[in-house]
Chain A
Amino acid sequence: MSTPSKAAPKVEHPTVEALRMFLRNPSAIAGMLMLFVVLAVSIAGPWVFPADPFEIKAAPLTPPFTEDAWLGTDYLGRDVLTTLIYGGRATLLVGAVAALLSVAIGITLGAFAGYYGGRVDALLMRITEFFQVLPALLFAMVVVTLFSPSLVTVTLAIGIVSWTGTARLTRAEFMKYRGLEFVRAERAIGARHARIIWKVILPNALPPLIVSATLAIGAAVLFEAGLSFLGLGDPNQMSWGLMIGSSRQYVLSCWWAVAFPGAAIFVTVLAVSLIGDGLNDALNPKLRER
């Protein structure tokens, strides 16, 4: 054993170390930049270019790269560029809130199941199994149709069907930690269950959960796009999926009305999953050799 020298390297706080590793990862940075552009355009765009995405701007089927419409118009004459700027709002909002909802449900149920074990675990796992068995997209389609499509119903439907993975992951993490010494010590000094769950175990279980939450955003964005492609999004909100779905029958005369909104979805989800991968490398360094 070597004796520690006086000039031992300063031990970094794990969060700082993870952050530094994340910022040194070129693909994670690329993901951040892409996401920044998407967010900036979607949030600031409508202020900079006030327009109605449903409005007819030029002759129908105007090809892209012309003066009237830079990215062309669809079969009704709606401007594809305007759709691109406005269509991200619904998708990103629904994606973010639905992911938040699914992560909140998943962490809560998973934490209770993993911490209490026994009957609570058995009951919660049966519920999780039930939701895993339901075909997610089909179930969301049923819910949205029965309760009429709006931003709220779409968000709720996506959140309700997509929490099971997070719940299982959280449960496994909690089962790992609940018998460990520092948790037992808390219990010995009489800490309440709520404190042990949220203040003691959860912070330790966070790294893999953060990664899974990031990926949940990507999945929720794709889910929203799929629903609005099928015509089950909020009909009063222009979105990328809606643009693709409504131009589907005319693709052979206006490929641009499908290609550009789809590319926007692709770039958004790609950005989020690059960030997720970068976080995974930074937060779970043991897995990095993969």
Chain B
Amino acid sequence: MNAARALLSRLLQGLALVLAVVVLNFVLVHAAPGDPVETIAGASGGMSPELMAELRTQYGLDKPLVVQLGVYLGKVLRGDLGYSYFFNLPVLAMIGERVPATLLLVLSAVISAFLIGTTLGVLSSRKPNGALSQFITVLSMVGFAAPVFWMGIMLVILFASIFPILPVSGMRAADSSGGGFKDALDVLHHLVLPTLTLGLVYLAQYSRLARSSMLDVLGSDFIRTARAKGLADRVVLYKHALRNALLPVVTVLGLQFGNVMAGAILVETVFNWPGLGRLAFESVLRRDYPTILGVLLFSSVVVIVMNLLTDLAYRLIDPRIKAS
């Protein structure tokens, strides 16, 4: 019963956060100099004052701010994020079209980084000062300090001019006709470099985290007990230590989805990957406010949902965590 109540309160908090993001969106647009009609007028290259006044009435911009906020909230709750100034398409549909590409990129980067990073971390924890440990230290430094877009472009240079075996732009070959096994292979081929770029950042974090978490756990009493019982090294390492050491890594993995958007924007821009991040970047360049605010709202909702799921998963994995 208690768990259900805790879950319900988390859910309500999540809903409140979504509302707060919606209100923030509204405030931002209205605090900025100029109004949407002026932006549209600018984008379409001039407009008569009469037409502008008419558009203002049409968009409800002549009503009091509170009324406008109410109207906006109502629309968002019904899933109406407005129309793109540039394409005159529903923003929600445009977002939906871009989500699969970003999902594919982010999941492949995060999952491969998680698998490789944990393996490296565990292997290196056996020799805390060995070569592998030093490699992880260097890797985590480079992964933090090198700008991800720069690494991406350097890979583009490498694979476009020196080893032309991997495509460096887009998601499909120009002559590709959608569907089929061949198409899937083509997408995978295009996926390699963006995944490598984005994955390196996460690999640096996961391997370091897995290593220090393993070292932490290996120093604890129950490991000494397990060793004293005469258990095989392999059993102690993988059955006792790894399961506990993974907890912090899994937490970071879940919370990571909050920061994933930044990487996606930069990497998708470098590789012309047709995802949500590239949509955000293009909309910013076009000053297409409904679209960029829609992407902002959508990504915030994704983060809120991911945080809730992480919270839930954590409660299931670790019974020590009570409703707090």
B268-311 with Cβ < 8 A to chain A: 269-270, 280-281, 284-285, 287, 289, 292-293, 295-296, 299-300, 303-304, 307
A136–B262 alpha-carbon span in the complex (Å): 7
Contact A251 B156, beta carbon cutoff 8 Å: yes
Instruction: Given A142-B28, A248-B270, A273-B145, answer yes or no on A258-B280 (Cβ-Cβ < 8 Å).
Output: no
Contact A134 B28, beta carbon cutoff 8 Å: no
Closest to A272 in B: B145
Q: Tell me the smallest distance from the CB of B249 to a CB of chain A, in Å.
A: 15
Q: Tell me the smallest distance from the CB of B96 to a CB of chain A, in Å.
A: 18
Contact B149 A244, beta carbon cutoff 8 Å: yes
17 residue pairs from A and B, CB less than 8 Å apart = A130-B17, A137-B262, A138-B262, A138-B265, A141-B281, A142-B28, A142-B292, A145-B292, A147-B32, A226-B147, A230-B269, A230-B281, A262-B146, A266-B146, A269-B146, A270-B145, A274-B141
Residue from B284, B300, B303 in contact with A230 in the complex, judged by beta carbons closer than 8 Å: B284
Q: Tell me the smallest distance from the CB of B316 to a CB of chain A, in Å.
A: 22
Closest to A287 in B: B212
Determine if B222 is an interface residue (Cβ-Cβ < 8 Å): no
Question: Other CB < 8 Å A-B pairs besides A135-B299, A230-B284, A266-B145, 12 of them?
Answer: A134-B24, A134-B296, A137-B266, A141-B281, A145-B287, A147-B32, A226-B149, A230-B266, A251-B153, A258-B150, A265-B150, A269-B145
Determine if A286 is an interface residue (Cβ-Cβ < 8 Å): no
User: Please, what's the 1-or-0 string for A164-202, where 1 marks a CB less than 8 Å from any CB in chain B?
Assistant: 000000000000000000000000000000000000000
B269 / chain A contacts, CB cutoff of 8 Å: 229-230
A142 / chain B contacts, CB cutoff of 8 Å: 28, 284, 292-293, 296
Q: Tell me the smallest distance from the CB of B208 to a CB of chain A, in Å.
A: 9
A231 / chain B contacts, CB cutoff of 8 Å: 285
Contact B145 A218, beta carbon cutoff 8 Å: yes
The 3 A-B pairs of least Cβ separation, nearest first, read A262-B150, A137-B262, A146-B32
Determine if A216 is an interface residue (Cβ-Cβ < 8 Å): no
Contact B17 A133, beta carbon cutoff 8 Å: yes
Q: Tell me the smallest distance from the CB of B6 to a CB of chain A, in Å.
A: 15
Determine if A93 is an interface residue (Cβ-Cβ < 8 Å): no
Determine if B21 is an interface residue (Cβ-Cβ < 8 Å): yes
Contact B147 A229, beta carbon cutoff 8 Å: yes
Q: Tell me the smallest distance from the CB of A250 to a CB of chain B, in Å.
A: 11
Size of the A side of the interface (Cβ < 8 Å), in residues, is 43
A241 / chain B contacts, CB cutoff of 8 Å: 147
A211–B24 alpha-carbon span in the complex (Å): 32
A130 / chain B contacts, CB cutoff of 8 Å: 17, 20-21
A270–B145 alpha-carbon span in the complex (Å): 5
Contact B147 A265, beta carbon cutoff 8 Å: yes
User: Please, what's the 1-or-0 string for A120-143, where 1 marks a CB less than 8 Å from any CB in chain B?
Assistant: 000000100110111111110111
Q: Tell me the smallest distance from the CB of B33 to a CB of chain A, in Å.
A: 7
Main secondary structure of the interface of A (DSSP, over half): helix
Closest to B157 in A: A255
A269–B144 alpha-carbon span in the complex (Å): 8
Query: Which of A142, A230, A273 gathers the greatest number of chain B CB atoms within 10 Å?
Result: A142
User: Please, what's the 1-or-0 string for A208-247, where 1 marks a CB less than 8 Å from any CB in chain B?
Assistant: 0000000000100010011001111000000001001000
B300 / chain A contacts, CB cutoff of 8 Å: 133-135
Instruction: Given A141-B280, A145-B292, answer yes or no on A229-B154 (Cβ-Cβ < 8 Å).
Output: no
Q: Tell me the smallest distance from the CB of B85 to a CB of chain A, in Å.
A: 13
Determine if A56 is an interface residue (Cβ-Cβ < 8 Å): no
A133–B289 alpha-carbon span in the complex (Å): 20
Q: Tell me the smallest distance from the CB of A279 to a CB of chain B, in Å.
A: 15
Determine if B171 is an interface residue (Cβ-Cβ < 8 Å): no
A217–B148 alpha-carbon span in the complex (Å): 17
Determine if B184 is an interface residue (Cβ-Cβ < 8 Å): no
Determine if B259 is an interface residue (Cβ-Cβ < 8 Å): yes
B259 / chain A contacts, CB cutoff of 8 Å: 135-136
Query: Which of B20, B145, B161, B270 gathers the greatest number of chain A CB atoms within 10 Å?
Result: B145
Q: Tell me the smallest distance from the CB of A78 to a CB of chain B, in Å.
A: 18
Determine if A6 is an interface residue (Cβ-Cβ < 8 Å): no
A259 / chain B contacts, CB cutoff of 8 Å: 154, 157
Determine if A10 is an interface residue (Cβ-Cβ < 8 Å): no
Determine if B261 is an interface residue (Cβ-Cβ < 8 Å): yes
User: Please, what's the 1-or-0 string for B5-30, where 1 marks a CB less than 8 Å from any CB in chain A?
Assistant: 00000000100110011001000110
B90 / chain A contacts, CB cutoff of 8 Å: none
Determine if A48 is an interface residue (Cβ-Cβ < 8 Å): no
Contact B258 A135, beta carbon cutoff 8 Å: yes
Closest to A143 in B: B28
Determine if B215 is an interface residue (Cβ-Cβ < 8 Å): yes
Residue from B150, B154, B258, B284 in contact with A145 in the complex, judged by beta carbons closer than 8 Å: B284
Closest to B269 in A: A230
